[in-house]
Chains A and B, each alone.
Chain A
Amino acid sequence: MFPDSKIPEGPIGEKWDKHKFDVKLVNPANKRKYDIIIVGTGLAGASAAASLAELGYNVKAFSFHDSPRRAHSIAAQGGINAAKNYQNDGDSVFRLFYDTVKGGDYRSREANVYRLAQVSVNIIDQCVAQGVPFAREYGGLLANRSFGGAQVSRTFYARGQTGQQLLLGAYSALSRQIAYGKVKMYTRSEMLDLVVVDGKARGIVTRNLITGDIETHAAHAVILATGGYGNVFYLSTNAKYCNVTAAWRAHKKGAFFANPCFTQIHPTCIPVSGDYQSKLTLMSESLRNDGRVWVPKEKSVAERLRKGEIRVADIKEADRDYFLERKYPAFGNLVPRDVASRNAKLMCDEGRGVGSTGLAVYLDFADSIKRNGADWVAAKYGNLFEMYEKITGENPYELPMRIYPAVHYTMGGLWVDYNLQTTVPGLYAAGECNFSDHGANRLGASALMQGLADGYFVIPYTIGDYLAKTPPTPVTTQDPAFAEAEAGVRARIDQLMSINGTRTPTEFHKALGHIMWEYCGMARSAEGLRHAKAEIQKLKREFWSDLKVVGVNADLNQTLESAGRVADFIELGELMVDDALDRNESCGGHFREEYQTPEGEALRNDDDYAYVAAWEYQGENQPEKLNKEELQFENVKLTQRSYK
């Protein structure tokens, strides 16, 4: 059976401990003979770089930012889950594991998720020791809050800036190793290809974004920690530079790409305001703890509201539909993200949306302010309220927030085995860029957990097993594979620069995003997906014949950077559509209109689709080959998810 996920034998609770004992170790004196390249220095990359350097390996770390502190991990707001059970409310490693597998709609690998839940507790200890100022209670101990998809309070947070504080913690650990000379940091340096020698990952090709210099770097192993690909939709909550290029280049060199169609649409984002919109801004899911989601009961009332004939205050309590509380009384406003998003879309499809576009629902804090006071709300969510007001010009203390779902996270990514190794030996993937732990839907506050689990506590163990079997002889860039990869990168840049067409990279990116959002977004159908595939193929031809890039390569050239990334997004987009077409079921963030229950919930097909779809590249313009990793569930019972 291929691919082999290398899940250790034994009961779920013992797999990781057993595996840690079974893997080979690298002698402390030999560690300094190994070079490791890490691409991306967000949560996963920075934590891996610091931890591996502490162990004694030589690390070369690469970031396209001017500093590792800019990585988009920094924007994560709500928190990080850990099975500490500090609140005495019934949490445990098993419960976090169970919630994560269930929340992922049973499309993740049990063994990986269990390990994630196990190491979650170590992450909090590590971060506190680094000086991460998590929120605390008056007694001096750590505070927790609850988050969507869970009925316990296990989320640790630092106001609405948890990602920032965790990233700065990892960045400080990384900075320490840079100072010691154990990490060589390459900033403003973008990976443009992977170098494979004798079937193993041996290095990368990069472009210096300031000088345009193309460089090659060799190592005994390569770790990609390059984030998600949500920007394939153009508009998303991702930062503008987030891209799939490093992962896609690795895919084209043999790394399978798993479940690309599993994308998460986050329910609470600030709605689009115009065609000029360059990105979307998330309002933390934690707001759903105290805010109530509603739309008018009657379509006619919503219409008058949109036209400005009536105001929010004119709508009586009895005329408001708190649709999440109505449909899901057990979880109410705290249902998982995919459920909340789909219901918001349903309300708007019914014509009951609000805001001038009708593509928004209310998130209302009036009750919470009445119950707890505005100061209490400000202490908890002040920075989010300020951000909302800056962007929309409206005061959320007086008017309910308008929110709408937006692309936020990608559960799919490079296929990895239990060791986080891709199908290219020596190439690892950590954090959002792998497909690992979230199945078809990620629970809130689990992205930070996974990024740091991979970087601090998984890769440092598993990569040793590979290196111990690799001779500690120095690696160089002398192999012809380096020159070949470098020539390929140069040729591609020359091609992008020489098309001399009429349309800008941004225009192509917007066109792609439109196709993806319409046909491969919150709701998908076989017919729509087939149409999208044809549209993307057409767009690809137009891109390579009508692209316009000005300036030169030997310079800071942001248009050229963008062009290369959009080219890769177009190819990824087609694979996402193929994957969505293959999966004739609805699960988590993947909702196929043909497959739903009579109540409109996602209808899974466990008999035929309880697998990871791992796509294998076959060459330019060739259909990719689908490999299936069948998922085994021994500890979690597959049920129709119910949050009612």
Chain B
Amino acid sequence: MAGSNPNAKPMNLTLKVWRQKNRNSEGKIVDYQVKDISPDMSFLEMLDVLNEDLLHRGEEPVAFDHDCREGICGSCNLFINGRAHGPEKGTTTCQLHMRKFSDGDTITIEPWRANSFPVNKDLSVDRSAFDRIIQAGGYISINTGGTPDANEIPIPKEISDRAFEAATCIGCGACVAACKNASAMLFVSAKVSQLALLPQGHVERKSRVENMVAQMDKEGFGACTNIGSCAAECPVGISLENIAILNREFLAAKATSNNLS
């Protein structure tokens, strides 16, 4: 079957792939050749081809995280030719297609590099630090039931839209991988802004930002030095403005804190 571009020619590529047996072992780059790669393939489908080939040769396939393959679950996380999610702007690894590469290219594929994201195996990393940051305060403390009618509190569309933009973070970790300090500020600020913008989040806005920032520091993420690589490489376009909002929220909380701990 031909794809949308029947004239596109298959490609042969050299892959330089990070292989690491487990968290405690050392890793290294290993070279592989892949042949007859269709430009209509997704990047992960190209890796599927490599893995089926390895399996047939009795070698262990390359472990990598992926799931929805439509850019929303945030599982996929490859560092391709030195860039988080590869060369195409605003794109997760799974939505990157091989038409962005050329026949004969050499492609280097590494896992996210950050102390707070230890490698599980090969290209799969442990991002549970993100979950622990959300557990520190990335929610509104209400129980199921007993909530007011959804239309009881009108929210200006502009505010709601901005909260939505911040809420679209997929938790992939590209911001950390792209940052020279391995800072998680963009991730944390996206959740802080979303909930600070909405009236429902106001009640806990002070303790939330303090607790989430404290957890971020505890996880060992680096400090933010306002370079902006995070936003530049974010596949869903989370804005740097969120970091400004976080800083403002954090200062206001510290200045007037009712968080006694």
Interface residues of A (CB under 8 A from B): 47, 50-51, 54, 65-72, 74-75, 84, 86, 122, 124-142, 158-159, 161, 163-165, 168, 171-173, 175-176, 178-179, 185, 187, 210, 239-241, 272-279, 281-282, 308, 355-357, 386-387, 390-394, 402, 456-457, 460, 502, 504, 506-507, 548, 550-551, 555-556, 558-559
Chain B 63-91 against A: per-residue CB contact (8 Å), 1 yes, 0 no?
10111111111110000000000001011
Tell me the B132-176 residues at the A interface (CB within 8 Å): 134-136, 138-145, 147-151, 153-157, 160-161, 163-164, 167-168, 170-171
Which residue of A70, A393, A507 is within 8 Å of B5 (Cβ)? A393
Q: State whether A67 touches B4 (Cβ < 8 A).
A: no
On chain A, the residues within 8 Å of B65 by CB distance are 66
On chain A, the residues within 8 Å of B61 by CB distance are 550, 558-559
Which residue of A86, A356, A392, A504 is within 8 Å of B6 (Cβ)? A356
Chain B 176-214 against A: per-residue CB contact (8 Å), 1 yes, 0 no?
000000000000000000110010110000000000000
Contacts A70-B68, A131-B167, A504-B55 aside, 10 further interface pairs with beta carbons under 8 A come to A47-B144, A66-B75, A139-B154, A165-B167, A274-B38, A281-B69, A356-B6, A392-B3, A394-B4, A548-B56
Which residue of B3, B120, B170, B171 is within 8 Å of A356 (Cβ)? B3
Q: State whether B135 touches A176 (Cβ < 8 A).
A: yes
How far is A390 from B235 in the complex, measured between Cα atoms in Å? 13
Q: State whether B157 touches A555 (Cβ < 8 A).
A: no
Q: State whether A391 touches B136 (Cβ < 8 A).
A: no
On chain B, the residues within 8 Å of A67 by CB distance are 127-128, 130-131, 171
Ranked nearest first, the 8 interchain pairs of A and B with the lowest CB-CB distance are: A140-B154, A273-B3, A172-B139, A129-B147, A133-B164, A128-B150, A51-B144, A179-B135
Q: State whether A129 touches B140 (Cβ < 8 A).
A: yes
The answer to the question of B1 belonging to the interface, with a C-beta cut-off of 8 Å to chain A, is yes
Known: A125-B147, A130-B200, A164-B72. A136 touches B135 (CB 8 A): no
Q: Which residue of A lies closest to B75 (CB)?
A: A70
Q: State whether A138 touches B140 (Cβ < 8 A).
A: no
Q: State whether A278 touches B69 (Cβ < 8 A).
A: yes
Q: Which residue of B lies closest to A126 (CB)?
A: B147
On chain A, the residues within 8 Å of B71 by CB distance are 387, 390
Q: State whether A128 touches B144 (Cβ < 8 A).
A: no
How far is A161 from B26 in the complex, measured between Cα atoms in Å? 39
Interface residues of B (CB under 8 A from A): 1-6, 21-22, 38, 40-42, 44-45, 48-49, 52, 55-56, 58-61, 63, 65-75, 88, 90-91, 95-97, 99, 120-121, 124, 126-128, 130-131, 134-136, 138-145, 147-151, 153-157, 160-161, 163-164, 167-168, 170-171, 194-195, 198, 200-201
Q: State whether B139 touches A176 (Cβ < 8 A).
A: yes
Known: A69-B171, A550-B59. A506 touches B147 (CB 8 A): no
Known: A50-B144, A171-B134, A551-B60. A124 touches B127 (CB 8 A): no
Q: State whether B144 touches A126 (Cβ < 8 A).
A: yes
Q: Which residue of B lies closest to A240 (CB)?
A: B67
Which residue of B73, B91, B138, B201 is within 8 Å of A175 (Cβ)? B138
Known: A142-B150, A240-B67. A75 touches B73 (CB 8 A): yes
On chain B, the residues within 8 Å of A66 by CB distance are 65, 75, 126-128
Chain B at the A interface: SS class: loop
Q: State whether B140 touches A387 (Cβ < 8 A).
A: no
Q: State whether A159 touches B127 (Cβ < 8 A).
A: no
Q: Which residue of A lies closest to B158 (CB)?
A: A138
Q: State whether A70 touches B142 (Cβ < 8 A).
A: no
CB B207 to nearest CB in A, in angstroms, measures 12
How far is A97 from B138 in the complex, measured between Cα atoms in Å? 35
How far is A355 from B200 in the complex, measured between Cα atoms in Å? 48
Q: State whether A136 touches B171 (Cβ < 8 A).
A: no
Known: A131-B140, A187-B128, A457-B144. A69 touches B74 (CB 8 A): yes
CB B91 to nearest CB in A, in angstroms, measures 6
On chain A, the residues within 8 Å of B134 by CB distance are 171-172, 175
CB A58 to nearest CB in B, in angstroms, measures 17
How far is A3 from B195 in the complex, measured between Cα atoms in Å? 46
9 contacts between A and B (CB under 8 A): A127-B150, A128-B200, A141-B151, A179-B135, A274-B38, A356-B2, A504-B52, A507-B52, A555-B121
How far is A509 from B38 in the complex, measured between Cα atoms in Å? 22
Q: State whether B144 touches A278 (Cβ < 8 A).
A: no
On chain A, the residues within 8 Å of B130 by CB distance are 67
Which residue of B1, B52, B67, B140 is within 8 Å of A506 (Cβ)? B52
Known: A136-B157, A179-B136. A390 touches B55 (CB 8 A): no
CB B127 to nearest CB in A, in angstroms, measures 6
Q: Which residue of B lies closest to A460 (CB)?
A: B144
Q: State whether A74 touches B73 (Cβ < 8 A).
A: yes
On chain B, the residues within 8 Å of A558 by CB distance are 61, 63
Q: Which residue of B lies closest to A238 (CB)?
A: B68
How far is A65 from B68 in the complex, measured between Cα atoms in Å? 11
Residue of A86, A175, A548 with highest tally of chain B CB at under 10 A: A175
On chain B, the residues within 8 Å of A387 by CB distance are 70-71, 95
On chain B, the residues within 8 Å of A281 by CB distance are 69-70
Q: State whether A276 touches B144 (Cβ < 8 A).
A: no
Q: Which residue of B lies closest to A390 (CB)?
A: B95
Which residue of B6, B68, B140 is within 8 Å of A172 (Cβ)? B140
Q: State whether A54 touches B144 (Cβ < 8 A).
A: yes
Q: State whether B121 touches A556 (Cβ < 8 A).
A: yes
Q: State whether A125 touches B1 (Cβ < 8 A).
A: no
On chain B, the residues within 8 Å of A277 by CB distance are 45
Which residue of B3, B74, B148 is within 8 Å of A129 (Cβ)? B148
Q: State whether A161 touches B168 (Cβ < 8 A).
A: yes
Known: A141-B151, A239-B67, A390-B91. A278 touches B45 (CB 8 A): yes
Which residue of A141, A161, A502 is within 8 Å of B72 (Cβ)? A161
Known: A129-B147, A175-B138, A176-B135. A550 touches B60 (CB 8 A): yes
Q: State whether B4 touches A392 (Cβ < 8 A).
A: yes
Which residue of B4, B74, B156, B194 is within 8 Å of A140 (Cβ)? B156
On chain B, the residues within 8 Å of A172 by CB distance are 134, 138-140
